[in-house]
Amino acid sequence: MSPKPLDYESLNENVKKVAYAVRGELYLRASELQKEGKKIIFTNVGNPHALGQKPLTFPRQVVALCQAPFLLDDPNVGLIFPADAIARAKHYLSMTSGGLGAYSDSRGLPGIRKEVADFIGRRDGYPSDPELIFLTDGASKGVMQILNTIIRNGNDGILVPVPQYPLYSAAISLYGGSLVPYFLEEEANWGIDFNSIRQSVAAARSKGITVRAMVIINPGNPTGQCLSEANIRELLKFCFHENLVLLADEVYQQNVYQDERPFISARKVEIIAKILFDMGPPISKEVQLISFHTVSKGYWGECGQRGGYFEMTNLPPKTVDEIYKVASISLSPNVPGQIFLGLMVNPLKPGDISYLKFATESKAILESLRKRAHIMTDGFNSCRNVVCNFTEGAMYSFPQIRLPLKAIEAAKKAGKAPDVFYCLKLLEATGISTVPGSGFGQKEGVFHLRTTILPAEEEMPAIMASFKKFNDAFMEQYEDYRGYSRM
Amino acid sequence: MSPKPLDYESLNENVKKVAYAVRGELYLRASELQKEGKKIIFTNVGNPHALGQKPLTFPRQVVALCQAPFLLDDPNVGLIFPADAIARAKHYLSMTSGGLGAYSDSRGLPGIRKEVADFIGRRDGYPSDPELIFLTDGASKGVMQILNTIIRNGNDGILVPVPQYPLYSAAISLYGGSLVPYFLEEEANWGIDFNSIRQSVAAARSKGITVRAMVIINPGNPTGQCLSEANIRELLKFCFHENLVLLADEVYQQNVYQDERPFISARKVEIIAKILFDMGPPISKEVQLISFHTVSKGYWGECGQRGGYFEMTNLPPKTVDEIYKVASISLSPNVPGQIFLGLMVNPLKPGDISYLKFATESKAILESLRKRAHIMTDGFNSCRNVVCNFTEGAMYSFPQIRLPLKAIEAAKKAGKAPDVFYCLKLLEATGISTVPGSGFGQKEGVFHLRTTILPAEEEMPAIMASFKKFNDAFMEQYEDYRGYSRM
Ligand SMILES: Cc1ncc(COP(=O)(O)O)c(C=O)c1O
Ligand SMILES: Cc1ncc(COP(=O)(O)O)c(C=O)c1O
């Protein structure tokens, strides 16, 4: 009998080629163990609320009121909602016709796109056009749509950093393009190595691949690096000369902990569009750039709401129309997520009734993340055969694990990649659910794992102690005078 | 200079091929007119809240409380929220770890998938497995994912009804498949004509196309038909013999107004999975079926929330795993939308505190939709050269407009399709924003327009009068003794 259309052998080959490690073997095993009653510490996804981070109160009040607009007429509403939340809910409801229950324009509500443009203007000092800002169900959906727009066939190449957040590799497989890897330099705090990029591009071209786009994640996931202005300028020049569109994943632009390095302007992430405009023509007028942002990260961490946007720079109107048309197929992004985005880009100001509470809550989250970044980096660096760059930004730690040859052989015997083997043992021993470095890409023969820095601050010391105990026992067990994996 | 990667000529050709009429030329012109201050009646999208339908109170209360869980500890909460809403909010929050701010499993929250399975079990009398139910950001996203899974290349054909909701044609273009049209029979109340299907399949095969899937929309959009049990049985047999996966778009399963036809069991939409199981083996065990549902329609109309699901029947576990993997790329559907879905499939029961209000609200909406379906059909049928089937289900009316040859020539001169010409004139004259039949597909030389039945009941008579006035003047102006478009 011939296979049926949805039997495995009949599926779209691109679907089968997709690899997605963040919810891969380790995650599935962790879910099983959890079902069996084991306490699991999920550090596989940057999902702060799942690990106990509380939502900011004010935005939740506003969205709750938008969901229940009949409360605005309730004489008792003032007993449980502050006046500025009520005013802001009215503000957003006035931007919709039909409230949260109506599809919006497929690009998002015009009023909120205007708030995003104003935010970008204030942030960068250059005006931004709401017509070039599209709201999305989280940044992921925007990235996927843009890659689907760019990729024509398997000869179209997209430069992706290694290690990278696997959204990129997965979406490139799904849409049938070619991933062209470029390495970040672990020894240079995960900075960009332009020689490596030039080599990658040359190698891809010699295989007949047209390199069309470059992805940059800043601050980095999984690497946690914050790129310097000089690095970004060089990147933009490179894109200009090589005729590449730059996809700038800046979802962690609020997550920065690099006060360690005072000569680099403290607590500030460089914004790629701003540097582009600073550079002036021809580069500022020529390089095509798409930047992505989200409510899932920062001190918001509102991952479940799925609010995001992308901003397009130097794209011709006909292309913007095509992107609009494709967005229309699924009608509109979810409207509550759009309101969260509005609240994020247009936050409370000093003097507002709820400002103090809002500022206190957000500062506490950011300060605690900073502390956790330190505890984690220091913890990893205190372990045998583990070396780890400091998390300058984002929410991750990406330590290198130098595996004894004996462990690598044991992994091979078990039919596992060495880092998967290590992470599985870690999971079974401690309940800490990480993602093996191979899920993000790493140099041949070098091994890492990725954790988020998100477990609650008070649990952090115990988690790191439990990690250390496991690691040091593992290193003891597999100790091998012949040597270790490469660095 | 060579074009840049995001210049129009460089884009993915499949993106450019996408046509999407629901937000096409007519919609754009209507938006322009609105900006210029003209009052526009948007009947182009099934977006009930945008036209004044009020949300059901109880689900909004529950989701508002889930957004603001700190209210659950507020001593005053009982002053503005009923006890059953409070209890239900706690119920849903207990299903999440991290509330609405955390990514859920990529398939959706297990607790809500269980509620969906229970609903299906009650509805159809056959048990349903939560592991085969995936929650989505509205039905559209699910349909797109499944089409992307099925389509391998341009030789893969998908049978799509004509006229159809253009989500299908657009997504098939986007993923590079071939649309194989089959006609619904206007004279037989838009029923399925199996001879036409067999001819379409034969014609496609003779061009080297592998027909792999069939789409059915029941109740229909834009046609408003409700298929009979006999029609659906024949459909399932056909899929069995031709080895087709059936994609059943059942988003309008609660929207039924066919009490007109008492011999067909009144006010009931036939559910395709139920009929599949009723048929017994081999068909019930062999035909691969995916059914789609949403919170956007019914008496909910919660379009902006983007909550939906699909249920898979007779798919092998390896395929389900692949679909799960691809869903993981974008992490999770929005969580508030999942809760709306839970509330829809697990509604209040008689005896619950808020039941009476809930039942009154939903009954009023459905009754009013029924009345509007009548006013609209009767209104169209009272117009010169307009004939219209009754809206048995869904939210649309799809009258045929018999255009005088003179009007067709005038359209040609203006460079417009004849139905687009008519709809543009209608828009300019009355502010009524419809979609030309060509956006959905229609037989060569036959012309329609589609409106929703959603304008407020009290405005309906005036809208239909305004339509009649325009139409009759149009027919007068273009009157042509030579004759009319085909029927
Ligand atoms: C680098 C990066 N980009 C994008 C995303 C996706 O964010 P969103 O929730 O907005 O889809 C993530 C999530 O972890 C991320 O780490
Ligand atoms: C037939 C049909 N399917 C699917 C949809 C999409 O619904 P959702 O809002 O769940 O994406 C619509 C919306 O109008 C529709 O008419």
Residue nearest to atom 1 of ligand 1 (CA): A221
Q: Which of B345, B378, B394 is the last residue of a domain?
A: B345
Q: A251 C-alpha vs ligand 1 centroid, how far in Å?
A: 6
- The angle at the Cα of A178, spanning A175 to A183, to the nearest 5 degrees, equals 125
Question: Which positions 342-401 of A are in contact with B (Cβ < 8 Å)?
Answer: none
Q: Which atom of ligand 2 is nearest to the CA of B138?
A: 10
Please answer whether residues B149 and A6 qualify as being in contact, where contact means their C-beta atoms are separated by less than 8 angstroms.
yes
Q: How far is A454 from chain B (nearest CA, A)?
A: 13
| A371 in the same domain as A333 | no
Q: How much is the ipTM here?
A: 0.96
Q: Output the average pLDDT for chain A.
A: 94
Distance A252 CA to ligand 1 centre (A): 9
- Ligand 2 neighbours, Cβ below 6 Å, are A 331; B 46, 138-140, 165, 167, 217, 221, 249, 251, 294, 296, 303, 308
Q: Is B211 on the interface with A (CB under 8 A)?
A: no
Answer whether residue B85 is part of any domain.
Answer: no
Decide if B11 and A138 are in contact by the 8 Å CB cutoff.
no
Q: Is residue B354 part of a domain?
A: no
pLDDT of residue A274: 98
> What is the extent of the structural domain holding B415?
8-39+366-477
Question: What is the pLDDT at residue B24?
Answer: 76
The predicted-structure confidence for B67-119, as pLDDT tens digits, reads as follows: 999 999 999 999 999 999 999 999 999 999 899 999 999 999 999 999 999 99
A118 in a structural domain: yes
Examine the domain organization and report whether B227 and B374 are in the same domain: no
Q: Ligand 1 pocket check: which of A251, A255, A454 to mutate, most ligand atoms within 8 Å of Cβ?
A: A251
- CATH number of domain containing A136: 3.40.640.10
Contacts with B, A 111-140, CB within 8 Å: 137-138, 140
Q: Are residues A334 and B306, on separate chains, in Cβ contact within 8 Å?
A: yes
Token readout for B20 is: 């999407």
Same domain, A334 and A377: no
From A294, A316, A345, give the residue that closes a domain.
A345
Q: Select from A289, A312, A345 the last residue of a domain.
A: A345
**Distance (Å, whole) CA B437 – CA B419:** 7
Do B337 and B386 lie in one domain? The reply is no
State the distance between the two ends of chain A, measured CA to CA, in whole angstroms.
52
Residues 6+ positions from B108 with CB-CB distance below 8 Å? B133, B134, B135, B136, B309, B332, B333, B338
Nearest CA to CA, how far is B62 from chain A (Å)? Answer: 9
Nearest-angstrom CA–CA distance, B139 and A347: 33
Residue A1 within any structural domain of the chain: no
Residue B191 and residue B331 in one domain: yes
Q: Are A319 and B77 an interchain contact pair (Cβ–Cβ within 8 Å)?
A: no
Considering the domain boundaries, does residue A50 fall inside one? no
- Whether residue A336 lies within 8 A of chain B, CB to CB, comes out as yes
In a domain, B288, yes or no: yes
Same domain, A182 and A119: yes
Does residue A223 belong to any structural domain of this protein? yes
Whether residue A70 and residue B77 make contact (CB cut-off 8 A), yes or no, is no
The response to whether residue A138 sits with its C-beta less than 6 Å from ligand 1 reads yes
Specify whether A281 is located in the same domain as A392. no
Contact assessment for residue A83 and residue A62, using Cβ atoms and an 8 Å cutoff: no
The token duo for A162 is 């290694």
Residue type, A50: A
Looking at residue B19, its pLDDT comes to: 83
Does residue B324 share a domain with residue B209? yes
Asked whether residue B34 falls in the same domain as residue B115, the answer is no
Say if ligand 1 is within 6 A of residue A221 CB. Answer: yes
Distance from CA of A354 to the nearest CA of B (A): 15
Give pLDDT, residue B175. 97
The residue ranges of chain A whose pLDDT is under 50 are: 260-266
Radius of gyration of chain A (CA): 23
A249 pocket-lining for ligand 1 (C-beta < 6 Å): yes
Percentage of chain B beyond pLDDT 90 is 92
Q: Are residues B256 and B375 in the same domain?
A: no
- A165's tokens: 């957040």
Q: Is residue A452 part of a domain?
A: yes
Which residues of chain B have a pLDDT value below 50? Answer: 260-266
Q: Are residues B372 and B446 in the same domain?
A: yes
One domain, residues A327 and A393: no
Contacts of B364 by beta carbon, 8 Å cutoff, 6+ apart: none
Q: Decide: A463 and A42 in contact? Cβ < 8 Å.
A: no
* Pairwise CA distance, residues A276 & A283, whole Å: 7
Tally the domains of chain A: 2
**CATH code at B462?**
3.90.1150.10
